[in-house]
Chain A
Amino acid sequence: MKKNRRMIQLVIFLGVLLLGGYAIGHSIFAAKDGQLPRKGSKPPEFALLGTDGKTHRLSDYKGKALVINFWGTYCPGCVTETPDLVAQYKKHNGEPLEIVGINLGEDSMAVNNFVKQYDINYTILRNEANDVQRKYGLRSYPTTFFVKPDGTIMDVFVGAMAEKDMDERITKLLKS
């Protein structure tokens, strides 16, 4: 009887600790809607059509250092950082680095003209439905994700990057 009672007490406390702990932990750590994926987490999957007419998936880039850059021709910050991205990609030619620019829902002519104008040498993906940016919790443009070869996010940069910002991060990315 006595023993039984102690058992019930312990079971209840354990239940409370587990469930309560989960509830409180969830309220502290759960990613809220409209929040950027955190450093160390895995970026959301995507499958998008590139300007090359092929389908590109996030999983295709596994094992390589990856820079995901969200951009639009209408965003001045995106325009200013584009030549630096081009230069970086050229500089690290032959190294396991990929740069992917995801366009924010513009039509093919705007994108193609822009690619031609800036001689963009890295992969440009189009996202007419604009769902990927929502998945990534974007609030402003440009936003750039630096993904390590193991598939986790090393860093997120919101806003236009100076050449130094980009260089530092890509160097670090390639070392990881």
Chain B
Amino acid sequence: MLAFENTKCECGHQNPVGTVLCESCGYPLEIGEQENDAPLEMRYDGIARRSQKSNPNVIDRVWNFFSSVKVAIRLIIITLLAAMIGTIFTQENAFISFDPSTYYEERYGWIGKWYYKLGFSNTYESWWFILLLVMIGTSLVICSLDRVLPLYRALNKQQIRKHSQFLTRQKTVYTGPIEGAEEAWTSSIGAQLKRKHYRVHQDGSALLAEKYRFSRWGPYINHIGLIVFLLAVLLRSLPGWAMDNYVTVAEGSTVQIPDTKYYIKNEKFTIDYYTDAELPKELKGTSRAKLYETRAVLYTCSADCDDPSKQPQLTEVNRHNIVVNDPLSYKGLKAYQFGFDDTPKLKAVNPVLIDHKTGKTYGPFNLVMKDPQLTYNLGPYTLELKQTYMDFALDAEGKPTTKSREPNAPAFVFVIKGPDLAADGEPYMYFPKQNDKVRFSQDMINGELAKRFEIKVPSMTGVEFAPVETSLNIRTDRAMPYIWFGAAISMIGLIMGSYWQHRRIWLRIDDGEVTLGAHTNKNNYGMRAEVASALRGIGVVVEPKLLDNGRNKS
């Protein structure tokens, strides 16, 4: 590895351990380097990284581990591969309710089984993936810190007169005889470079011209931004910093947003589809959504909020027409259009009671599915509601039961009282849906009574459906400003480092012979053009290509 002993340069400067190029004159210090004439390795200006020490202890070793770019690249590649594996099968968090321990095996066979067993079905929330991110974050901090401070020092106190080997081993080099006085020649090229926005420092016949040094800080600013971003992401896991809830609100109703004092009302929900005229001929006849919109009103609860026996007192605080891409936003709380349910659900029917014996019809009466009225007076008869089944079925013992609370197959048990009937009434079972009536043979159940009475909905107008439901995703995310801040810093640093290049030109004149070396961290092509143009300015014509120090070609 590095030769740690010989750190004193021939110019007399004492360099820290691990220095590649003398901090003062730029003379190469590594053993064997002096005899070489290949272009110098100018990375970090040849400075010693902070962590390089001759006898490291445990802390130093850990520090060195994280300060190595090689390790950083490995971490990046491992993260990349892990992220790839996580996209092979759908991750657990994409499902709302399922059993991952059987799903993957059933669906993908033994590969799926192992995918689940190895924890890849939840890659991005797994401890080892988080560990990788933490390690990358650590590496970002330590790598940057280890390099930026020495680099700052090196660039801040630059020697103008460099060793001639330092100059001739740059990638852009010019040597040639000069005419006239040495200092005058240097000054005149200095003037040329000033015009190209260089900052020029002259020391007798030696010169250092430099521009866009700030671009060297770009990568570090970028890293700071990334660290801020990662910390902001971590903030989100603090209790109370991020909330993620879903509410389903039927048109016209108001519901409480769980865990908050807010209530939200759905005044109207609209779905629009593109008309055939708006669709290209390949898509005509298909239903393509144009708009999902919830006209929402947000309330806060001012009193009686936590007592279900009282109505909460609500105060309107905000209203907004929520569409996809335009959520409601109030004091950090956001409500997003997430979905809807417009499958028709029975809400109420308005049936009539027909007495076949007399041929008379009584009613209609309003029978709602949810919390119906218990007695109905129809002419001489009274209907008492005894039992309801929202999703009628027969259980294993043949007893009536309900499969769910959704009115998929509603059934009502009435007791009919009135003239010519038993004193405590006679039971009658009513299925509002025609197909249920046939499926569960209503007339058989009701027996003799079915011949006399019939409850039925006379027309479609007697059927009411529940309003469309919208589902909204309610979020608060207090870390968002920090996330955007981190991203912005990172982006600024990246742009600084990418679109500007740090350029330096050194020259010295020894015995009427000029030696010019130029360095840039990227775009040597532009560097050469600029040097050639400056030389042309004082009457020295060189093809940019000839400035290329081609000795690195193998």
Contact = CB atoms under 8 A, between A and B. Distances in A.
A134 B309 contact: no
Contacts of B145: 8, 12
Contacts of A30: 237
B543 to A, nearest CB: 49
B271 interface: no
Contacts of B385: 109
B119 to A, nearest CB: 11
A20 B309 contact: no
Majority secondary structure of chain B interface residues (helix, strand, loop or mixed): mixed
A162 interface: no
B419 interface: no
A55 to B, nearest CB: 5
Interface string A115-159: 000000000000001010011000100000000000000000000
B127 A22 contact: no
Interface string B388-423: 101100011000011111000000000000000000
B402 A74 contact: yes
B131 interface: yes
Interface in A13-66: 13, 16, 19-20, 22-24, 26-28, 30, 33-34, 47-49, 53-55
B63 A9 contact: yes
A106 interface: yes
* A interface, size bucket: 35 or more
Given A23-B237, A27-B126, A55-B309, A108 B371 contact: yes
B210 to A, nearest CB: 28
A111 to B, nearest CB: 10
B130 A23 contact: yes
B97 A34 contact: yes
Interface string B374-386: 1000000000011
A33 B309 CA distance: 29
A123 to B, nearest CB: 14
Given A8-B145, A13-B62, 13 more contacts: A16-B138, A20-B131, A24-B131, A26-B237, A27-B126, A47-B308, A53-B309, A72-B405, A74-B405, A106-B405, A109-B374, A113-B387, A131-B258
B258 A135 contact: yes
Contacts of B403: 74
Interface string B54-65: 000001001100
